[in-house]
Chain A
């Protein structure tokens, strides 16, 4: 998830340069703003969470929405990984240092990467509507059906853990966004 943004040295705020004479006066205003990248992370991740919850609820969506949403989630997963690639590299490098703080998060994220990727890939392999609609005929083997069911169950367990391990970042950004929207940022 996007939690790593909260750990950056130049994180949650952005705005015009503070070096200008009006810098001091505008500093409070800048503080009230949430960085565009942070907002993107927050809302994009929220959309992925909501999307996965809906896609997992097969009885709610039906096969057509389930399949298209799953394909969309595959693309979103790739973008999410891209947006946080710096964190992946940084944390992987620090993994073997004795003071690596993010080992648990790294392991959960790795497991989630495997589970979600295999879930989407097996879903594509057993697609009955979306890909045949595009003229692509799929594998439909029993292995892929079972892998899809298994990885979906693993993913539904790991997604909330992945979210919850960054709850401080989510709570912080959520509070800032709410204050920003309401225009009631504390002075």
Chain B
């Protein structure tokens, strides 16, 4: 019963955030860092070369294959073969080219975790030393020798 109450409360919070997103899309469909015309992208002749994900090409521009796809690009895209079951092609996951993407994401997260842990440990040590009344000795000063 308590779990259900908490689940309902959490669902309400999530729903409120979704409603904020919907209101944002209706009232001011612009994201931070965007100009009034959206992202700038280069047009060479009449061909759009760098179309941001989801953006519509200007009238008359030719759209190259692969433009407008979400980050990560086309290589990993699998299509539903029309059989009603999505084509997962799980074997592709083990291809080294695709694994590089996963490795990069994991590395990025590991670096941020390491940075925060080091900063937090340093901050805690400093606070403990300050509370004990003996701050760490200034760099370059050694005791006993």
Residues of B within 8 A of A122 (CB): 21
A160 and B98 in contact (CB under 8 A), knowing A58-B76, A63-B77?
Answer: no
Give the Cβ gap from B70 to chain A, nearest Cβ, in Å: 6
Instruction: Report if B80 contacts A (CB, 8 A).
Output: yes
Q: Which of A64, A147, A157 contacts B87 (CB 8 A)?
A: A64
Asked if residues B17 and A160 are in contact (CB atoms below 8 Å), the reply is no
A156 and B105 in contact (CB under 8 A), knowing A60-B93, A122-B21, A145-B70?
Answer: yes
* Alpha-carbon distance A85/B111, docked complex (angstroms): 29
Asked if residues B92 and A62 are in contact (CB atoms below 8 Å), the reply is yes
Number of A-B contacts (CB under 8 A): 162
Asked if residues A78 and B70 are in contact (CB atoms below 8 Å), the reply is no
Task: Give the size of the chain A interface in residues (CB under 8 angstroms).
Answer: 52
Contact residues of A between 133 and 153, Cβ < 8 Å to B: 133, 140-150, 152
Asked if residues A144 and B76 are in contact (CB atoms below 8 Å), the reply is no
Residues of A within 8 A of B6 (CB): 82, 85-86
Instruction: Report if B144 contacts A (CB, 8 A).
Output: no
Give 18 pairs: A residue, B residue, CB < 8 Å, sorted on A: A53-B109, A57-B102, A59-B76, A59-B98, A77-B14, A78-B10, A117-B17, A117-B21, A129-B79, A143-B54, A145-B53, A146-B38, A146-B54, A147-B31, A150-B32, A156-B105, A159-B109, A167-B116
